[in-house]
Amino acid sequence: MFASLIGLIAAHTLLRMFVAGLGVLNTVVLQIRERVHDLGVVKAVGMTPRQTLAMVVSSLTGIGLVAGLIAIPAGMGVHGCVLPVMGHAAQTDAPASLLNVYRPWELVLLALSGLGIAVAGALAPAGWRRIGGASRG
> Containing domain of residue 8, as a range?
2-126
Give me the torsion for CA of 8, 80, 18, 4, rounded to 10°.
-10
What pLDDT is attached to residue 137?
42
Residue 136 has pLDDT above 60, yes or no: no
The 10s digit of each residue's pLDDT in 36-93 is 888 888 888 988 888 888 887 887 788 778 887 888 888 888 888 888 888 788 777 7
> Is position 136 within any domain?
no
Percent of all residues in the chain with a pLDDT value above 70, rounded to a whole number = 91
Total number of domains constituting the chain: 1
pLDDT given for residue 116 in this prediction: 79
In whole angstroms, give the CA distance from residue 3 to residue 26. 35
133 domain residue, yes or no: no
